[in-house]
Amino acid sequence: MESKIRRDIESYGFKNVSHIHWNLSTPALYEEIVRRREGMIVHLGPVCVRTGHYTGRSPNDKFIVKEPTSESKIWWGDVNRPFDPEKFDLLLYRLQAYLQGKDIYVQDCYAGAHPEHRVPIRVITETAWHNLFSRNMFVQLKDRSLLMSHDPEFLIINVPNFRAVPQLDGTHSEAFVLVNFGKKMILVGGTSYAGEIKKSVFTILNFLLPQEKILSMHCSANVGPEGDVAIFFGLSGTGKTTLSADPERKLIGDDEHGWGEDGVFNFEGGCYAKVIRLSKEHEPEIYECTRKFGTILENVAFDINTRRIDLNDASLTENTRAAYPIPHIPNAIREGVGGQPRNIVMLTADAFGVMPPVSKLTPEQAMFHFLSGYTAKVAGTERGITEPQATFSACFGAPFMALHPTVYARLLGEKIRKHNVNCWLINTGWSGGPYGVGKRIHLPYTRAMVKAALNGSLAQVETRHDPIFKLEVPVRCDGVPDEILDPRKTWKDSDAYEEKARELAGRFRENFKKFETQADAAVRACVPGA
């Protein structure tokens, strides 16, 4: 097999590499990580690593190669910026030269748990810990005979110690994430932040699957005792991972899914959870994953003598992460598939403190809020973000959407109507005032709202109409004080609330202008009032 893999690697242009570590097991990768001093084993078995300068995604360093097979389909703009194909080839040549004489690590796996819609990939890394990350995050092939015949459709090459020269390579900085649909290749370099690997693969699926009428989604998903599937949309930091890891429900996945004719399926084989100030009391399932062999703890602080971690220490970054295989969650569905959704929950972390904690959405409102993708960027998720900032990210994941947002929104609307799905908007952000004045909504309250939405009881509750945001807001919810459900009542100054709410409504209107011409009248009618 060594000779076959070497021939495959050489066919990509990578020649004269030293040793090829092909599909090493987790224990073997641990040995490599320690031997190469890439990380340290800490209390109870996780491995701790540092990513250096880059502790979050670097969106300004991501490009899509402008080439004939994909050019007419890409949503070009601030999110998907074009990259010269000749510059890509030159950078690839330099990268191939860089890897000569070096060891490389190879993982063959799948993106997508559904056997009919999964994409075979091969991940080549220069470090053992990034290879373990890939092994954790994507769908593994347990059968060695299948590994022998694995035929990857896309190649992902991760070389964090290779730094680009912007003047020569046409990049924005020393870091780069280059997606080439024509060559079916992704190059990631200059950054050790492992999230770039997983999100670049997500970009691939967001390009391929909607063209097959499969909705690709930045969401978590779980299933209840009665087989009722729930989808949670939201950007990083809004609570997708936390709220979907429910001991009373089985986890399908925490971040990326597809929605096809026979239901929902996970894109990944693992979870990549934020763990800063993780609470054993409020998030017991994820907390336990930070204490297990096989978990990668990224930028998590620990005592060098006792090797015990400190999840409250944000000295390196607010964006501390744990990457672990999904079986680490005791009630996870290992197959990664579920049926048709009964409920959709859209999560927003409202930094203005004016959005209702929970609202019932019509299909048209769901499409509007899906296209708007309002939330707050949370500290640490991206470089340069030190406190929450209001933002609109189409489809709750614009940085990863290769096609125009309306492609995904139309698919969403079609599936909601076809399967009669209940839709909810839940604010996991601030109450009683904006960021810096109010407080983040108490997690147990949010859990109570989610529980009531999913078990059907909230749909039976009387609602009040919010005239500014045009939302129907339940007036009561078990386990939540009534005044919490009306954000105006949590503010000391009602006039200040009114002013801030209308300010946010104006931002919704301004943001939606770019979708107005392509949205139907029913969706346009959902735009918040003046």
> Annotated catalytic sites, by residue?
57, 199, 218, 236, 240-241, 255, 321
- Burial class of residue 85, CB neighbours in 10 A (0-12, 13-18, 19+): middle
HEC letters along 88-99: HHHHHHHHHHHH
Q: Tell me how long the chain is.
A: 530
Instruction: Report helix, strand or coil for 12.
Output: coil
- Burial class of residue 323, CB neighbours in 10 A (0-12, 13-18, 19+): buried
- Contact (CB, 8 A) for 127 and 52: no
- Contact (CB, 8 A) for 231 and 193: no
- Burial class of residue 142, CB neighbours in 10 A (0-12, 13-18, 19+): exposed
- Contact (CB, 8 A) for 430 and 351: yes
- Burial class of residue 199, CB neighbours in 10 A (0-12, 13-18, 19+): buried
Using alpha carbons, list the distances in angstroms from residue 518 to 76, 144, 216.
16, 49, 20
- Contact (CB, 8 A) for 150 and 122: yes
- Contact (CB, 8 A) for 301 and 347: no
Q: What is the CA radius of gyration of the chain?
A: 23
CA distance 421 to 266: 19
Using alpha carbons, list the distances in angstroms from residue 81 to 76, 84, 225.
6, 10, 44
- Burial class of residue 479, CB neighbours in 10 A (0-12, 13-18, 19+): exposed
DSSP assignment of 146-193: HHHT---SEEEEEETT----HHHH--SSS-EEEEETTTTEEEEES---
Instruction: Report helix, strand or coil for 447.
Output: helix
